[in-house]
A and B are shown apart, each in its own frame.
Chain A
Amino acid sequence: MSGQRTVLVLGGTSDIGFAIARRYAEQGWTVLLAARDADRAERNANDLRLRYRGEAVAVAFDALSLEFHARFLDGLGMLPDTAVCVIGVLGDQARAEADPDHAAAILRANFEGPALLLGEIARRMAARGRGTIVGVSSVAGDRGRGSNYVYGSAKAGLTAFLSGLRNRFAGQGVHVMTVKPGFVRTAMTEGMKLPGQITAEPGQVGRAVYRAAEKSRRNVIYVLPVWRLIMLIIGHIPEFLFKKLKL
């Protein structure tokens, strides 16, 4: 297998993004780590170079600066074989209900920014005739819940957008995979009470994403299979009942 394949990880300083980057680097891929915090991205890239003796490059990037998306992609000097987007923020639901700016920031970081960026990458990959796109969405997008519907609806938007991209570019050699990680022990979930049996470690997400995207070419994955069942059940609760639940 060629060691020259390149993966672009958008959100390369997040726990999940870094874990995915490590998995690709371990498999001999060249890794481009894009993140807002360039120093942290460089520290992570340095770790990849030392650990796996491959190439890793840090690039400064802000998904919310929509006008720079095309210029950022042009500046890479090449179009990666695979692009993985891990960009997103959980935000604070209570604050979002009172503060439209905060709600808008959540919607942008989880939907608008990632979707428009991946859309642009998909177009470029289609023009080339091949490529793989991995979008990290969330089980929270499978059904809106009172406790996090701003975040959840943005992720629902991203899930639908990825589904649309998959449909749009399937005939042009572009594979689009949607990842719904479920609970993962990361900075984002720090301090939450996470049920151990259905909580994944970032390393598990990295392995699952690599396997599903590069080996079995799946369309939609839940990192822990049990989540497919959980969301199937939650998705089938009738609305008149669902609205009375505290979820």
Chain B
Amino acid sequence: MSFAGWGNFPRRQGELETLRDPAAVRRAVLGGGPVLAHGAGRSYGDAALGAGRTLGLRGLDRFLAYDEASRDLTVEAGVMLSDVIDAVLPRGLFPPVVPGTRYVTIGGMVASNVHGKNHHVAGAFGAHVSALTLVTAQGDVVRCSRGENAQLFRATIGGMGLTGIVTDVTFRLIPVETAFIRQETLSAPDLAAAMRLLEESRNRTYSVAWIDGLGKGGLGRALVFRGEHALRADLDDDQARAPLRTGTPPRLAVPFHLPAFTLNRLSASAFNELYYRMNARREGMRVVGYLPYFFPLDGVAHWNRIYGSRGFIQHQCVIPRAGSSAALGEMLALIAREGNPSFLTVLKLLGPGDAGMIGFPMEGFTLAIDFPVSDDTLRLAAALDRIVVASGGRLYLAKDARQDRGIFDAGYGEADAFRAFRAEAGASARFRSLQSERLGL
């Protein structure tokens, strides 16, 4: 048996053990040897691959409580975001923050402190978590919040599962009138224009830019998608018939790993050109379903297989605003020169950094690019790392499969404090991933 993260790189030999209740988590932690929690396997690299035993938490999938007054929902850590949405959207509620796929577990969203297209106004997911339950290295079951075990709470938000195993999470839902998004599409001829449009979108709820990484026109030709939760009055007659419908699972699926030759500069370039033209034609305002707006790639099951069996990496960094245009320009120029066949390059403006000792978000621009794994792309990624660090930025651990410890330490100011916290709590011997070994955490 072997398993891997969403990028299929690296792979780890061994078994994924499924746990079904909190008592089993405690037994596994006390069972001796290093362990690590694993959710839906949607982190891209080696963050959820245990250096010892890997404990699958999908069996902890019960809803535990809902408080109508505060809109606080408590679920077990293995509950999928898609299940939360399916249950709460028909009642006019929505998660406060969603990442680019709904096939993640709530525990994983805490461990990665995921951010969404609304980070600049809402912060990351951790900001909306009011409490969580953690099984510590000693097997203690500890309730944490901002008022209770606050330091452990803060270290666990974005802590990549390295402080303990989260068994349940309480977070606050937001009210929505409909399941639709009022989407505004704007086109930008180059990177500078795209960055300016994102800056101007700071008072909008959701905003994100798709960048043509191979742009033949200007470098960084982009489409900016802004979104607001649509009101009933925004819907057309057809949409208004089922204003809170949750939608259906994907019908398209990639059946197997595509051979490497199908993905190259030419096909990626053609895809990028097509995507740009199709969407640029739709400039202006449209009301779209929440599924295509938030989770466009969920529409194709197993889309990670288009990168072939060698897998792919995603390089996602955040660069502080000062100096970001020079650094991003340099990165895009380097990528275009190397001819990376990326289908997906995403740029977003993040708001102020919030919870977590090693939580990713900080104020600035975040750029995410996919690379099929090869010696060339690994070299390219390392070159991008140096630009990121030189401009005071850092890499997102949920996407990371390969950065070295020097890059990590340069980017995360609290890296040593996190190490010390783990050592003191006895967590560094107990909770270990391939990523934590690589980064010396």
Contact = CB atoms under 8 A, between A and B. Distances in A.
A49 to B, nearest CB: 8
Contacts of A53: 91
Given A47-B64, A50-B87, 20 more contacts: A15-B59, A40-B21, A43-B64, A44-B62, A46-B62, A46-B63, A46-B64, A47-B62, A47-B63, A50-B64, A50-B65, A50-B66, A51-B83, A51-B87, A52-B87, A187-B18, A187-B20, A190-B17, A190-B18, A191-B15
B261 to A, nearest CB: 26
B20 A43 contact: no
Contacts of B87: 50-52
Contacts of A44: 62
Interface of B: 1, 15, 17-18, 20-21, 59, 62-66, 83, 87, 91
Nearest to B66: A50
Contacts, number: 29
Interface string A157-194: 00000000000000000000000000000010011010
Nearest to A43: B62
Q: Which of A15, A44, A51, A187 has the most CB of B within 10 A?
A: A51
A50 B18 contact: no
29 contacts: A15-B20, A15-B59, A40-B21, A43-B62, A43-B64, A44-B62, A46-B62, A46-B63, A46-B64, A47-B62, A47-B63, A47-B64, A50-B63, A50-B64, A50-B65, A50-B66, A50-B87, A51-B63, A51-B83, A51-B87, A52-B87, A53-B91, A187-B18, A187-B20, A187-B59, A190-B17, A190-B18, A191-B15, A193-B1
Contacts of B62: 43-44, 46-47
Contacts of A190: 17-18
Contacts of B91: 53
A43 B83 CA distance: 17
Interface string A21-56: 000000000000000000010011011001111000
A59 to B, nearest CB: 18
B92 to A, nearest CB: 13
Contacts of B64: 43, 46-47, 50
Contacts of A193: 1
